[in-house]
Amino acid sequence: MTTATTVKTEYEAIIGLETHCQLSTNTKIFSNSSTAFGSDPNTNIDPVCMGLPGVLPVLNQKVLEYAVKAGLALNCQIAKYSKFDRKQYFYPDLPKNYQISQYDLPIAEHGWLEIELVDAEGNPIRKRIGITRLHMEEDAGKLVHAGSDRLSGSSYSLVDYNRAGIPLVEIVSEPDLRSGLEAAEYAEELRRIVRYLGVSDGNMEQGSLRCDVNISVRPVGRKEFGTKVEIKNMNSFSAIQRAIDYEIERQIAAIEAGSCIIQETRLWQEAAQCTSSMRVKEGSSDYRYFPEPDLAPIEVSNEQLEQWRSELPELPAQKRHHYESELGLSAYDARVLTEDRSIAEYFETAIASGANPKAAANWITQDIAAHLNKQKLTITQIALTPTNLADIITRIETGKISNAQAKQKLPDLLSGISPEKAFAGQELITDPSVLEPIVDEVIAANSKELEKYRNGNINLKGFFVGQVLKKTGKRADPKLTNELVEKKLNA
């Protein structure tokens, strides 16, 4: 959860995001070429994705399924009837010189997702961001600029068509966002959702999730939007936030200087931390859309829709609310635990096995998370099962072992050693009749420290407690040890 910020009070930013999300299918949207990332250039290609004469596209059924599930998870209305369209533009990485997309009849419309922030006082803020539409389309290829040139930085370009025909859904938000922070949080929540669904890996560094920002600025109170500017080339959530914050200030400064904001596409320059003009923005008429003649319209039956709806998992926002309202967790713990579906499932299995929710949350978000970060592992790669974590927590809460003992043994437990074996012969001494003679022995053996304590150096109580723990191999119940030591020292 992040803290909300605002722009200058006399101006208001109007922001919407267009997010391209690559679907995790094994083959492309209209052909059977592989979608594997990192293959040698121009090896995952075929006549269909290359647009060769005489070939016909066939819709990948899994693409439709994933698109509908994403639409349902975003609370969209799923179209009973939709179609594909040709979007015309000419660029070296687009083999057919048109892209198969959806225009006026997309697969999903009129949805929303919820973002969470906190205000300056630390109070939670939940805001609903509208989703205008979600539609299916194919990706273009990739240009690789090479060589060196004094002016442009490259002297020639190579084309890799492996991405041509990769299945995408484009998710267009309503202009409901008001800051870079809100936009970054929206993009993060969107990635959580598609990852929970399993329809996309959401890896921005591999191009699986790409965001274009539309932003304008207007004086507060004015109904009409300002001139919209699009920002491209952002490869992280922090870049989205920084690019928007910069562009807001740039547009405000231009308005106050009496300059004209033009509708254009700009690039985010990471090194310079600024946006720069790329081209004048095209309108929909420039693309000359018309219905794709080689693909039949799409009809989703009620039976198929309900089947896909029934397969949806509980989503991150639902889990956060559940963890906070029913399990009593803090907003921070709920956020960390729901960031990844596998972590949430690990946590839920642990509490289903009897673990106290707060204790399980502490172990997962602190000690186990530290190990995962250090070793660069995911929670599915550790040998400590959630059932064994519940066993450890129960042993601590019933006084069989101490929290310190459990943390000391954590490396062994993470490597797969069972709690029974790890704590064999390590149960805490909780019987006062067993512990009291040991306390007496320690006090008798440290007469000088006893005299100093009774002369006012009460901090030495910790010394005696430590000696008892050392003598028992840390098996003495810490609470009972403290009580007995204090009673004996003050006798």
- The string of pLDDT tens digits covering residues 126-148 is 999 999 999 999 999 999 888 76
pLDDT band at 3 (very low <50, low <70, confident <90, very high): low
Other Cβ atoms within 10 Å of 370 Cβ, number: 11
Task: Give 12's contacts (C-beta < 8 A, 6+ positions apart).
Answer: 178, 217, 218, 219, 220
The number of residues in the chain equals 491
CB 3 within 8 A of CB 120: yes
Closest C-alpha among 349, 430, 448, 334 to residue 389:
349
From CA 232, how far away is CA 346, in angstroms rounded?
A: 37
Phi and psi, residue 11, nearest 5°: -125, 155
From CA 478, how far away is CA 461, in angstroms rounded?
A: 13
Query: What is this structure's pTM?
Result: 0.86
Over its C-alpha atoms, the chain yields an Rg (Å, rounded) of 30
pLDDT 10s digits, 162-219: 999 999 999 999 999 999 999 999 999 999 999 999 999 999 999 999 999 999 999 9
The structural domains of the chain, ordered by start, are 2-304 (no CATH), 314-422 (no CATH), 432-489 (1.10.10.410)
From CA 79, how far away is CA 129, in angstroms rounded?
A: 21
Q: Specify the range with the lowest mean pLDDT, choosing from 48-62, 253-267, 379-393, 468-482.
A: 468-482
CB 396 within 8 A of CB 355: no
pLDDT band at 274 (very low <50, low <70, confident <90, very high): very high
Q: pLDDT at position 170, please?
A: 98
CB 337 within 8 A of CB 344: yes
The H or E element containing residue 487 is helix 478-489
Percentage, residues of the chain above pLDDT 90? 73
From CA 131, how far away is CA 110, in angstroms rounded?
A: 6
pLDDT band at 363 (very low <50, low <70, confident <90, very high): very high
pLDDT 10s digits, 305-315: 999 999 999 99
Q: pLDDT at position 208, please?
A: 95
From CA 191, how far away is CA 114, in angstroms rounded?
A: 13
Q: pLDDT at position 450, please?
A: 87
Q: pLDDT at position 149, please?
A: 62
pLDDT 10s digits, 409-425: 999 999 999 999 999 87
DSSP for residue 369: H
